[in-house]
A and B are shown apart, each in its own frame.
Chain A
């Protein structure tokens, strides 16, 4: 099995975990979790230098998960890559559970920040990146934001700042699933052409299909290997709730719990892809 096929099977297995967890927990952000899960799987597998056995190592790369509502994807990816056991997720959605519906930094190894209010991660990431430069650390700082999240002015303050300080260890990853909560981003507060905007703000920019592992691989490696003083942006063109036929691109799956029947059909569909 080639690397990309293996990664795809992993991310579809994680979709099963996410869908089941949201069903059992009585609700969660399916849409944003399914649009970012492929990129998260790719990053933890191929790019990030973070040792799950030593997750506080000062020289680690950082993944700042700013679009906190999609935490189901983060929770299950961290679990899959050995940061903690599945027991951490068993009580999700129950009173007294370890994890909330948005990530909290002290709840488990690998969760760098508490997020949920949008637009906070880029500034925090820029601060970490600047500190790394001052300390001569070679860590790379990846900040994952949603396209709707870029409505926040603070995101653009951080973009200006990263550019001004020439933080070439700062990677802004935009999960451009083209939907906010209630409608398409273009109908609310459109951001396109986001690549041109970021270029004009002084970023090296690459754009790719965020569900295609070969494209992800080529794009991330290309931008990481650029010899440039500029901060970097990777725009992932994704589809909200991508992975199951009846959730893909459907607004209501922004936040929802599947019915028992939807869970069954959904898991069967995901299994077909995993077993193909």
Chain B
């Protein structure tokens, strides 16, 4: 996702436009081509996230469109008040791009994990929030952020996420339906971000056992497309899976909307359960440790339908 966002930026960026890339001393080898091609529109501002956000706000007050890039927790949590005031309150068109959403940084440990960021970024008025599930959605998210007249946050995984198009049955600009038609499925998994792939693996395994599981992913987190709520209403049972805390999350937000309209089918949320990561290992290992890997998703769905 990181490289596909970089490629999308290289494709969209034109000499003399006002797009200006600011990195917080992160991205070795990622933005080399950009920084050579657009030397005047690139700045490694250093390890000073609070300043980086205020600075980007100031640049946007004078006609620039800053794209600000660093690792998710340092981008969203360290300078949260600058984001709240300098960007959200001031309605500045600045695009924050965070790399390493969720458990992507694996064995770098809990300082580099982020499963609180979407709560923080979605509670801010004026913000648009995106969480791509696969490389091709990085460009969709960047394009949507460029079209949003205010601040945006794009939560990326890291790199090497698979292309999911071969599993896709149908999709529109708001959602993609994988594995089984959600209107006919026994259970629909609603998900976003890199964990979508785990959901697809789980769905394929269950389909083999004649449990008809659909996966619906969305990358527009805020504003949340109405289609997503409709998917929940049209499904017999829904499981929301997220690589994020479930303690005030996108899942609990969807659940709250559904409950206010009147829940028709079953609804369950699977995510990180209000705890930091104590184990050490790769993302795959940590998904298992937090019980949000494909096997845990299979187990949860089996429990839901019995």
Contact = CB atoms under 8 A, between A and B. Distances in A.
A190 interface: no
B213 to A, nearest CB: 47
A124 B54 contact: yes
A197 to B, nearest CB: 17
A113 interface: yes
A14 B57 CA distance: 32
Interface in B44-80: 45-46, 48, 50-64
B25 interface: no
A124 B86 contact: yes
A123 B62 contact: no
SS class, residues of chain B in contact with chain A: helix
Among A123, A130, A158, chain B packs the most CB atoms within 10 A around the CB of: A123
Contact of A134 (B40, B56, B61, B89): B40
Contacts of B53: 123
A193 interface: no
B55 A124 contact: yes
A164 to B, nearest CB: 7
Interface in B88-116: 89-90
A183 interface: no
Contact of A132 (B50, B56, B62): B62
Given A123-B54, A158-B51, A134 B82 contact: no
A114 interface: yes
Contacts of B61: 112-113, 124, 127-128, 131
A157 interface: yes
A135 interface: yes
A65 to B, nearest CB: 14
SS class, residues of chain A in contact with chain B: helix
A160 interface: yes
Contact of A161 (B46, B57, B82): B46
A160 B45 CA distance: 10
B31 to A, nearest CB: 18
B interface, size bucket: 20 to 34
B51 A126 contact: yes
A123 B51 contact: yes
A73 B297 CA distance: 60
B124 interface: no
A131 to B, nearest CB: 4
A128 B51 contact: no
B81 interface: yes
Contacts of B56: 127
Interface in A86-113: 105, 112-113
Contacts of B55: 123-124, 126-127, 130, 158, 161
B62 A135 contact: yes
A123 B62 CA distance: 13
Contacts of B89: 114
A191 B52 CA distance: 24
Nearest to A152: B50
A67 B224 CA distance: 37
Among B20, B51, B64, chain A packs the most CB atoms within 10 A around the CB of: B51
Contacts of B46: 160-161, 164
A240 interface: no
30 contacts: A58-B62, A113-B61, A114-B85, A117-B81, A119-B50, A123-B50, A123-B57, A124-B54, A124-B55, A124-B57, A124-B61, A124-B86, A126-B51, A126-B58, A127-B62, A128-B59, A128-B62, A130-B43, A130-B58, A131-B58, A131-B61, A132-B62, A134-B64, A135-B63, A137-B62, A153-B50, A154-B50, A154-B51, A157-B48, A164-B46
The 10 lowest CB-CB distance pairs between A and B, nearest first, are A127-B58, A123-B54, A157-B51, A131-B62, A127-B55, A157-B48, A124-B58, A128-B58, A154-B50, A127-B59
Given A122-B54, A161-B46, 18 more contacts: A114-B85, A114-B90, A117-B85, A120-B54, A123-B54, A124-B58, A126-B55, A127-B54, A128-B61, A129-B58, A130-B43, A132-B62, A135-B62, A154-B51, A154-B54, A157-B48, A158-B55, A160-B46
Interface of A: 58, 105, 112-114, 117, 119-120, 122-132, 134-135, 137, 153-154, 157-158, 160-161, 164
